[in-house]
Structure 1
C-alpha cells in the first residue's frame, strides 16, 4: 500500500488543460485568445481545479498549430501579446490558481531566427544548433528514421547540400541538445517565463530531445502491419530516450527548483520501467511528473485497468508521485471512446486515483464525437495519413458556452466546427442542471478538496467481481472505498474485512440506499468505518 507524504500544491492539485485556440474568442476572428481565457477564469475557478496548463501560445506559422515555435519568448498575435499574457497571469493568480506553459524543446519552427541562420550556410555559428548531415552514399537520407507524421525524418536542403532532421513536420526542425550554446539558450527561455511569474511547464515530447550520437538506423518493428501508423514501422531505439536526455532533464529541474515551488510535467510515452527513470533520483531529480497516458492508451475494462494501475504504481520510485490523464488535445474525447454513462465512471476514476489528475477542457461536459467535414479538417497529422483516422481536430473543437450564436465562443464561425449537440450540451445548460456531468465533476473536485484521503491518501487495490474495479484510499482516520462498475450488469462489491459502510459520499447515479451492489455504469465513493 503506497503511503502519503508531504505534499506541495502540484501533488494535491488538479490541472486543467486549455487549448487556447478553442476556449474563448474575444475579438471576433473565430479563434480563441488570451483575453478570452481571462474572461472565463471564473468558470475555471468554480470547477475546483488548481492549475491551468495552456497549449503553446508562442509566435508560430501554425504548421502544427503552435508546436512549431518561431519565438520562444513572445506571444502569437492571434492570441494577444505579452501585456495580455501578463494580465492573464495576474488574473489567474488573483483567483488562487497556477499557470503552466507548454514548453517545446525538441524542435522549433523553420521560421525561427535560429533556423534561418542555421540553414544560411554550413559555417554559420548556429549551424550546429540543429541536426544536419550529409546524404547517405546513395544520395538519400542519412538513416532510416521515420517522422511521427509519416515519411522520412530528413529534409533535403538544396542550398547547403545537406539534410536536416525533423521528428515531426519538415517545418519543425529538431534542435541539437548536444550543443552547449543551444542548451543555454533554451534554459534562458525557461528563465524568461519563470521570471515573468509562471508556475511551471508541461514539456512537449521530452523523451525525444536527444538522439544517438551516431544517428544509427532504428530497428524494424516485426509487429508492424500496414494498418498501423507509418511511424511505427520502426522501433525508436536510437531517435528517442537517450541516456544524455536525463542529464538535461535534471538541469531543467534544478532551474525550476531555484525558483521555489514550480512544477515540470514531462510528456513521455514509454514502458513503465523506462518511464519511471524520468523522475531521476532524490539526489538528482528530473521532472516532477512524467506524464502518464495509460488511461488513454488502454482498453476500457476492469481487468485491463486493474493491471495497468497496479503495474504503474509498482513501477514508481519511492520519491515519485503518480499522475493520470484521460483526455488531451491529441486524443479522442473520453465520451466518444466509451459513451457518456461510462464517462461519469471515468471522471470518478480520474479524480480518485492516487496522483495528480489532468482534466482536458470540454471533457467535463461530455463532448463526444464531432462531425468535421473533410474540407474543414485542419490537423496536419490527419492530412498526411487520412486513412488512419488519427486526426486530432476531434478533440480541439471550440468550447460551447451557451445556446447563443456560435455557442458563445465567438461572434463568427469558429476555426473548427462546434460539437453537433452544442445547443443543449454547453456550459450554461449544464450549470442549470443539477444532474449534469459538469455538476458531477464539480462535486467530485469538491470532494477531493474536502477529503485528504482522495487527494493524498494511501492507495490499495481491492478484490472485486468481474467488470468491477475497486480500491481503498486512506488518510488519518478516514477510509474510503471506490467501486467502479465498467460493465452492463449489476455486480456486488466486497468490503475489506472488518469494515462497514458508514455513508455514500458520491455516486454516478441518483442517490440510493447502500445495498452491497453496484449498478451498471455506476461508480461509488463509500466512507467506511471499522466494525464495533
Structure 2
C-alpha cells in the first residue's frame, strides 16, 4: 500500500498535470505564461495596443520587440499589428521591410513572456483569398487572433479560430447580424467620428456604448483616421483633451484600443521616441538640443513626468484592470451639458459601503466647472454625500462633495461614492 507521503506526491503530480492542461487551453501558443490563473476570458475588459510597424520603429518587427516593456507599461494585454503584408494582393506574405517570419516568431515569444498576445489586422482581404489557409498560416505561428472588417469573413474566421486551442479571438465591426458565430469583440467607431469637443456632442456617443450589452472594443484613433490630437482643431489644449479621451476609453467596462502614439498626443504618422534627457550634471559634456528638451510630444519628454498624458494613460490602465466596479458594473450617464461636463456612475447591483459605486466626472472646457451630483445619485437610490478620490488628472487633493464640486479645466476626476 502506498505511504501517506507517496499518496501526497501522487496527488500533487496529478494537480500539476491538471493545472498545466487547463493553462494550455487558456493560451494561444505552447509556453505562454500568466493566463492560466484567470477564470475570465483574457479579452474581456482588455487593452489592445495597435501598431503599424512601419511607423512605430525604423527597424520593423525587431523595433517593436525592443519596445515591449514600454507597451506593457500601458497595461496592454495584446498587440494588434496592421499593414504587415507587402501589399493587398499578398496577404499571406510578410513585408520584407519589416523583417522575417523568424522576427515575427521572436516578437510573439517575447510578448508572451510579458503576458501579451499578438493579433493581426487582416483589413479587407481581396476577392478570391483563401481565408481558411490565410488564417491557419498565422494561427499556426501562434498568433492569437484577427481583426477583420467584413461580417461574413468575420463569421468564417470565428469558426476557424474556434478549432484551435487557447483563446483565439476575432475582432469585427459593430454591425447588426443574425450570425451564430459573432466575433468576440465588436469595434465601436463612434468616438473616431467625433470632431467637436463638447459635452452635447460627446454625451450621446458615450451613452450609447455605456448602455450597449455587447463586448465592445472602443477606439478614438486608428490607421485610416485623422488623429484625435488634431481632429478637434485645438492644438493649444490637445494634450489636456487627450486626458479626457483616455478616460472615455479606459474608465468603463469595455475593452480599449490604443493606437500607437495617442498616449503621447501624437499628431503625425511616425512615433516620436525622442532622446532621453541626461542628468543636469552630465549636460555640459553631452549638450542637448533645445528642441529635444522642449518637445512635449515624445516618449522621452513624458516618460518620467507624472503630469504627462503618457503617465495618465498608465494610471488609467492600472485602474481599469484593478477596479472591478469600474470594469464590470453597468454605467449610467448624467446630463450636465450646460456645464460642459461629462459624468457617469458605475453602479454595482449590490452597491453598499463595502462595495461602493464609482463616479467619473470630466470637464470638457478651458474654465473651471461647477457641478452638483446629489440629485443624480438620489434618483438612482444611491446613498452618499461625497466622493473619495481614486484618480484625478490634475494635482488636486482631498474628497469631493456631491452638493458642489469644482472641476479644474480639462480635468478628469474618478472617485468612490461614500457616506
Gaps of 5+ in 2: 1-38, 233-237, 278-290
Cα distance in 1, alignment partners of residues 384 and 132 from structure 2: 53
Deviation at 1:457, TM superposition (A): 2.3
CA RMSD of aligned residues (A): 2.4
- 1:156 corresponding residue in structure 2: none
Q: Are residue 451 (structure 1) and residue 347 (structure 2) matched?
A: no
What do residues 230-252 of structure 1 show as CA deviations (whole Å, max 9, x unaligned)? xxxxxxxxxxxxxxx54x43222
Q: 1:358 aligns with which of 227, 252, 257?
A: 257
Cα distance in 2, alignment partners of residues 296 and 421 from structure 1: 31
- 1:478 corresponding residue in structure 2: 356
Deviation at 1:520, TM superposition (A): 2.2
Cα distance in 1, alignment partners of residues 146 and 274 from structure 2: 27
Cα distance in 2, alignment partners of residues 325 and 89 from structure 1: 24
Q: Secondary structure at the match of 1:478?
A: coil
- 1:328 corresponding residue in structure 2: 222
Q: Is the 8 A contact 1:323 1:357 kept in 2?
A: yes
Cα distance in 2, alignment partners of residues 422 and 190 from structure 1: 46
Cα distance in 2, alignment partners of residues 434 and 35 from structure 1: 29
- 1:210 corresponding residue in structure 2: none
CA 1:329–1:94 in structure 2 vs 1: closer, same or farther (change >3 Å)? same
- 1:258 corresponding residue in structure 2: 163
Q: Is the 8 A contact 2:154 2:170 kept in 1?
A: no
Gaps of 5+ in 1: 1-5, 27-32, 61-67, 108-174, 177-181, 207-244, 269-274, 369-393, 405-418
Deviation at 1:261, TM superposition (A): 1.4
TM superposition score normalised by structure 1: 0.60
Q: Is the 8 A contact 1:508 1:523 kept in 2?
A: yes
- 2:138 corresponding residue in structure 1: 193
The count of corresponding residues between Structure 1 and Structure 2 is 344
Q: Secondary structure at the match of 2:385?
A: strand
Q: Is the 8 A contact 2:275 2:292 kept in 1?
A: no
Q: Is the 8 A contact 1:483 1:493 kept in 2?
A: no
Cα distance in 2, alignment partners of residues 89 and 399 from structure 1: 24
Q: Are residue 101 (structure 1) and residue 134 (structure 2) matched?
A: no
Cα distance in 1, alignment partners of residues 104 and 300 from structure 2: 27
Deviation at 1:366, TM superposition (A): 1.6
Q: Are residue 295 (structure 1) and residue 191 (structure 2) matched?
A: yes
CA 1:493–1:334 in structure 2 vs 1: closer, same or farther (change >3 Å)? farther
Deviation at 1:367, TM superposition (A): 2.1
Cα distance in 2, alignment partners of residues 196 and 42 from structure 1: 22
Deviation at 1:13, TM superposition (A): 1.0
CA 1:504–1:295 in structure 2 vs 1: closer, same or farther (change >3 Å)? same
- 2:154 corresponding residue in structure 1: 249
Deviation at 1:425, TM superposition (A): 2.9
CA 1:454–1:313 in structure 2 vs 1: closer, same or farther (change >3 Å)? closer
Cα distance in 2, alignment partners of residues 403 and 424 from structure 1: 12
Deviation at 1:421, TM superposition (A): 8.9
Q: Are residue 37 (structure 1) and residue 56 (structure 2) matched?
A: no
Which residues of 2 match residues 405-444 of structure 1 at below 5 A? 423-444=295-316
Q: Are residue 491 (structure 1) and residue 370 (structure 2) matched?
A: yes
Cα distance in 2, alignment partners of residues 7 and 500 from structure 1: 34
Cα distance in 1, alignment partners of residues 49 and 186 from structure 2: 16
CA 1:499–1:464 in structure 2 vs 1: closer, same or farther (change >3 Å)? farther
Q: Is the 8 A contact 1:24 1:399 kept in 2?
A: no
Q: Secondary structure at the match of 1:448?
A: helix
- 1:128 corresponding residue in structure 2: none
Judging by fraction of residues, say which structure has more helix: 2
Q: Secondary structure at the match of 2:331?
A: strand
Q: Is the 8 A contact 1:99 1:200 kept in 2?
A: yes
CA 1:330–1:440 in structure 2 vs 1: closer, same or farther (change >3 Å)? same
Deviation at 1:202, TM superposition (A): 1.3
Q: Are residue 305 (structure 1) and residue 202 (structure 2) matched?
A: yes
What do residues 276-303 of structure 1 show as CA deviations (whole Å, max 9, x unaligned)? 424x55xx12222232111120232212
Q: 1:526 aligns with which of 401, 415, 418?
A: 415
CA 1:56–1:422 in structure 2 vs 1: closer, same or farther (change >3 Å)? farther
- 1:509 corresponding residue in structure 2: 394
What do residues 153-178 of structure 1 show as CA deviations (whole Å, max 9, x unaligned)? xxxxxxxxxxxxxxxxxxxxxx15xx
What do residues 120-149 of structure 1 show as CA deviations (whole Å, max 9, x unaligned)? xxxxxxxxxxxxxxxxxxxxxxxxxxxxxx
Deviation at 1:456, TM superposition (A): 2.3
Q: Is the 8 A contact 1:11 1:456 kept in 2?
A: no
Cα distance in 1, alignment partners of residues 250 and 412 from structure 2: 12
Q: 2:74 aligns with which of 44, 47, 70?
A: 47
Deviation at 1:465, TM superposition (A): 5.0
Q: 1:11 aligns with which of 26, 44, 58?
A: 44
Deviation at 1:420, TM superposition (A): 10
Cα distance in 2, alignment partners of residues 88 and 70 from structure 1: 25
Q: Is the 8 A contact 1:22 1:399 kept in 2?
A: no
